[in-house]
Structure 1
Amino acid sequence: MPRFYFDFASNDDVSVDTIGQELENEDMAHKEAVKALAEIAAEEIPRDGELVLTVTVTDAERQTLFTAQMTFRPTI
């Protein structure tokens, strides 16, 4: 099975995945990335200020396959 890496960023705080995860295909990696981003968002929603959460998925050669991003902005 191919290995995928999921690098996360919360504003400017970046967490690089050095282990990766073996998944069946790129579609499964996409689903895992979106699921993880939603779980992180549920825990990190800010009470004040903007929050930008990003996940970048790369393949075994560390080539970017896709990026997903969520932005939270206070409207008050």
Structure 2
Amino acid sequence: MPRFFFDIHDDEEFTPDREGLDLDGLEAAKAEAKKALPDIVKEEMPVGSRRDFTVDVKDAAGQIVWRVTLSLVVESPSQGSTANT
């Protein structure tokens, strides 16, 4: 079973995965990254109006095989959209 590593970063922090997970393959690794992001976002609020959370999925050789990003945008309806600022 291949081992994958899930490095997490945003505009402020970088958290490398030094242990990794043994998974069935690339699709399982992508699913694991997608599953983790909502939990990460729940714990962090954006500084300002937007924050992007990214998981870089690396194989055992250190190559990025997937990059999954989730954006959290906080805006006031009375101020209009700030997603593009």
TM-score when normalising by structure 2: 0.79
34-43 or 54-63, which moves further after superposition? Answer: 34-43
Q: Percent of counterpart pairs with the same letter? A: 35
In the alignment, what sits opposite 1:61?
61
Moved over 2 A (4+): none
Preserved contact between residue 41 and residue 72 of structure 2 (Cα < 8 Å): no
In the aligned structure 2, how far is the partner of 1:13 from the partner of 1:69?
A: 14
- C-alpha deviation, 1:12, in angstroms: 2.8
Q: Which residue of 1 aligns with 2:41?
A: 41
CA displacement, residues 8-34 of structure 1 (integer Å, 9 cap, x when unaligned):
013231001111111111111111100
Structure 2 portions without partners, runs of 5+: 77-85
- Residue 14 of structure 2 is matched in structure 1 by 14
**Which secondary structure state, in structure 2, belongs to the residue aligned with residue 62 of structure 1?**
coil
Partners of 1:24 and 1:36 in 2: CA distance: 17
- 1:74 positional shift: 2.2
Question: What is the CA-CA distance between 1:45 and the residue it aligns to?
Answer: 3.5
With normalisation by structure 1, the TM-score equals 0.88
Highest Rg: 1 or 2? 2
List gaps (5 residues or longer) in structure 1.
none
**3-state SS of 2:56 partner:** strand
Q: Tell me which residue corresponds to 2:83.
A: none
